[in-house]
Structure 1
């Protein structure tokens, strides 16, 4: 049985924190692969005026290409409307019977799980993996596999803000992602 971790997000842009989390969960749980799934329209976030879908996918490809166990799945980009995890996991389970899926969330989302769309049905389809984040509890009424990851205070918002302020993003994002951002003049104000 193939064990696959799912890391969803806007990846606007993908950064080294995403890669660190994915690698730590892959290793800690002995997973076969991590699938990065860029959101089309996350239900809990407002559009930030960032990169378009094609640019976000290209940056993810550049960020993950050196890791043989990292894959990109565009399932949410191929649908319209909000990207509910329930709908995505229902489709993935239908497409890949016999796979065990592990959905990776930050501690901020652990606290919010009770509010997720169809959470009671969702926990029957996927195992949740919670990773620590500063200032958040890792406690839930739902079953969570906790994985401790080294803290890295980087976020996509931080990267976008630094770019707008004309500050360096070196070592915050993989070098090919930085080059792509610069070549395509992404996130300029």
Structure 2
């Protein structure tokens, strides 16, 4: 069983960008994490208006990103699963693989966390890991105490001091306002995204012709 303090940052990563790395770095710094796992989500059942990358490409771009940062790694449990992915189930699988819940920190934006009551296996999901909630533009973590009063007693300002009891850690700091959707829009318009994604990801997108507008447009 691992004793490492491990963060988990999930997302479609379509594509992974510098904002994701900044969020992971913030959580690592504020919570004294040993490493952060990037968790690409499973296939989306919804048709997208903009071109999207295949799951194999999303996974490879995530791996290329992890190779650029010593404390990043990739967890592919969700993207390789044929079943719908739920945070609670994924955290349970990590526990079975030897991760202690009190050493796991699930990193999520305040905008997504505001709807936590709609998540699968709520509120038991809080027994699976700590939650590290990061402010997002227009969604400060301070507002969560008012929006989710039943969870207020679990919330605490993020600190690197070890917390034996599972908690909701609030990280009130700015991270770059970058979105994968905006990146896909720029790429479809033939614009550069070199300032928004890691260098190897930009090279991969260019080499494989990802996110281009369909021919004829």
Per the TM superposition, whether the score is higher than 0.5 is: yes
- Within 1, Cα distance between the matches of 2:106 and 2:47? 23
TM superposition shift of 1:167 = 1.5
Corresponding residue for residue 207 of structure 2? 183
Runs of 4+ with deviation above 4 angstroms = none
TM superposition shift of 1:22 = 0.4
- Within 2, Cα distance between the matches of 1:69 and 1:62? 13
What is the DSSP-based 3-state SS (H/G/I as helix, E as strand, rest coil) of the residue aligned with 2:115? helix
Q: How many residues align?
A: 187
Corresponding residue for residue 10 of structure 1? 12
- Within 1, Cα distance between the matches of 2:98 and 2:77? 13
- Within 1, Cα distance between the matches of 2:124 and 2:178? 32
TM superposition shift of 1:97 = 4.3
State whether residues 61 and 72 of structure 1, in contact with CA within 8 Å, keep that contact through their aligned partners in structure 2: yes
* TM-score of the aligned structures, taking structure 1 as reference length: 0.93
Could you say what the CA RMSD is over the residues aligned between the two structures, in angstroms? 1.6
* TM-score of the aligned structures, taking structure 2 as reference length: 0.81
- Within 2, Cα distance between the matches of 1:77 and 1:47? 17
TM superposition shift of 1:136 = 1.5
Q: Which structure has the larger Rg? A: 2
1:80 counterpart (77, 82, 88): 82
TM superposition shift of 1:137 = 4.2
| 2:145 counterpart of 1:121 | no
1:172 counterpart (196, 209, 212): 196
State whether residues 111 and 137 of structure 1, in contact with CA within 8 Å, keep that contact through their aligned partners in structure 2: no
TM superposition shift of 1:41 = 3.5
| 2:132 counterpart of 1:108 | no
| 2:53 counterpart of 1:51 | yes
| 2:159 counterpart of 1:156 | no
- Within 2, Cα distance between the matches of 1:97 and 1:105? 19
Corresponding residue for residue 157 of structure 2? none
State whether residues 13 and 56 of structure 1, in contact with CA within 8 Å, keep that contact through their aligned partners in structure 2: yes
| 2:87 counterpart of 1:63 | no
